[in-house]
């Protein structure tokens, strides 16, 4: 969520489009699960955020139980393999303008190669919580956009420097200012 808000505040045009989508498709009540199918742009924002800022940049290690071939390389049984999702998600041979935050790239839908986008891993041991995680992210980010006007502290762009241990942190913790939007007054009254 911290990365998602940071990306949105560095791209006010994207934040504006997300707000317009929520206002048009949800209106004067709080977002709920039945709205998700109508919120394509918000879903694209979540995906684009996971592409540039994957929670686990290095997918946890895997070990084949028998010899196999991966990408033309012979991999003996027992080899420990790390897949670098961060690097895959920014590979210029797979993504157009990979360093830019552009949720629109997830909107076209047609011909998207699932193997190049793996924030939840892939295959038999991929994350079983991906559906739950996506729902929680859409609900949380959607509510934060609906209920508050967000602003950066000072005029400067947010520093996106990363630090990776097992998961990927912001070096500078995010600080933002917010004001309640009218929908919040209505919800609380
Ligand atoms: C944004 C949120 C999340 C992200 C980015 C994420 C990402 C991942 C990744 C990359 C893996 C490793 C997949 C692999 O080895 O190929 C994993 C495994 C796993 N995740 Fe998640 N996860 C998230 C949320 C959740 C939630 C909400 C749950 C449970 C409710 C969950 C449960 C698990 C479990 C049990 C595994 C191990 C699966 C196995 O080894 O078979 N995760 N997750």
Report helix, strand or coil for 134.
helix
In a domain, 147, yes or no: yes
What is this model's ipTM?
A: 0.98
Strand pairing report for 168-170 and 162-164: antiparallel
Q: Which of 117, 120, 123, 139 to mutate to test the pocket of ligand 1 (most atoms within 8 A of CB)?
A: 120
In a domain, 157, yes or no: yes
Other residues' Cβ atoms within 10 Å of the Cβ of residue 57: 18
In a domain, 61, yes or no: no
Tens of pLDDT, residue by residue over 121-135, are 999 999 999 999 999
Q: Which domain holds residue 114?
A: 2-55+96-188
Distance 126 CA to ligand 1 centre (A): 7
Give the atom of ligand 1 at the shortest distance from the alpha carbon of 134. Answer: 1
Q: Which of 84, 129, 132 to mutate to test the pocket of ligand 1 (most atoms within 8 A of CB)?
A: 129
Take atom 41 of ligand 1 and give the residue whose Cα is closest.
125
| Total tally of structural domains belonging to the chain | 1
Partners of 6 in beta bridges: none
In a domain, 80, yes or no: no
In a domain, 75, yes or no: no
In a domain, 14, yes or no: yes
Which contacts qualify for 66-71: CB closer than 8 Å, 24 or more apart? Answer: none
Tens of pLDDT, residue by residue over 80-100, are 999 999 999 999 999 999 999
In a domain, 155, yes or no: yes
Looking up tokens 């949105």, which residue turns up?
8
In a domain, 89, yes or no: no
The token pair at 109 is 């839908």
The token pair at 54 is 């994957």
Average pLDDT over residues 147-173: 94
**Short-list 140, 34, 125, 113, CA closest to 81:** 125
Distance 181 CA to ligand 1 centre (A): 34
Provide the CATH number for the domain around residue 155.
Answer: 1.10.630.10
User: pTM higher than 0.90, yes or no?
Assistant: yes
């Amino acid at each position: 969520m911290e990365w998602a808000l940071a990306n949105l505040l560095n791209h006010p045009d994207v934040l504006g489009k997300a707000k317009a989508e929520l206002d048009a498709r949800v209106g004067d009540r709080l977002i709920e699960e039945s709205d998700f199918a109508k919120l394509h742009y918000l879903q694209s924002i979540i995906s684009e955020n996971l592409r540039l800022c994957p929670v686990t940049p290095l997918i946890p290690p895997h070990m084949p139980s028998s010899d196999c071939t991966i990408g033309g390389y012979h991999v003996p049984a027992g080899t420990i393999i790390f897949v670098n999702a961060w690097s895959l998600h920014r590979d210029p041979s797979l993504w157009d303008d990979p360093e830019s935050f552009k949720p629109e790239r997830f909107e076209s839908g047609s011909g998207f190669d699932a193997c190049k986008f793996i924030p939840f891993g892939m295959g038999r041991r991929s994350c079983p919580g991906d559906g739950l995680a996506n729902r929680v992210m859409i609900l949380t980010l959607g509510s934060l956009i609906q209920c508050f006007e967000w602003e950066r502290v000072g005029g400067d762009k947010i520093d996106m420097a990363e630090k990776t241990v097992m998961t990927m942190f912001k070096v500078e913790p995010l600080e933002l200012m917010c004001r309640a939007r009218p929908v919040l007054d209505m919800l609380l009254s």
